[in-house]
Amino acid sequence: TGVGGVRIIDGKIDRKSIGFEPGHQIVDMDKTLISDADGITLGNYISGRGVEKRTGKKPFEITDNGFWDKMARVLAVGLNNTIVHWSPDVVVLGGSMMKEVGISVDKTDEYLKETLKIFPQTPPLKRAELGDLGGLYGALVYNQ
């Protein structure tokens, strides 16, 4: 549905906030990255709903590598912003947009290394092992 996130502190979900919404960060104020997006936030660009609204296709129907390369570049911008604020040891990426037909973790990592210059090295990007259910499992843990 969108681009969500959670921060883990000392092995526990950070409960000191009203919620983390990295998908609502502004990544393209003047629409120079993607001029036909419906909005300027990370979610408008790379969420399944945003991609479908812009292209008229379900994300899994899009086989154009150039399209997914551009999405990896936009995700790298969003990750840069999140990393600068959260300073994580590792970033785990999952969900329907991070599948075989979708945004490449390797390409995203490549673009992140070009973008994130404030730290001596970028935190490793890892593919979520729980797939699309990771958010659900996280919500269950959070509500215990």
**What pLDDT is stored for residue 97 in this prediction?**
86
Report pLDDT digits (tens) over 63-77: 999 999 999 999 999
- The structure's pTM equals 0.86
The predicted model gives 70-99 an average pLDDT of 91
Q: What is the chain's mean pLDDT, rounded?
A: 85
Grouping H, G, I as helix, E, B as strand and the rest as coil, residue 105 is: helix
**What pLDDT is stored for residue 39 in this prediction?**
76
Calpha distance 111→73 (Å, rounded): 6
How sure is the predictor about 134, in pLDDT bands with cuts at 50, 70 and 90? low
| Structural domains in the chain plus CATH codes | 8-142 (3.30.420.40)
Percent of the chain surpassing pLDDT 70: 87
**What pLDDT is stored for residue 115 in this prediction?**
94
User: Using a CB cutoff of 8 Å and minimum separation of 24, what contacts does 129-132 make?
Assistant: 130/94, 131/94, 132/94, 132/95, 132/96
Whether the per-residue pLDDT at 133 is higher than 80: the answer is no
Report pLDDT digits (tens) over 27-43: 888 888 777 767 788 88
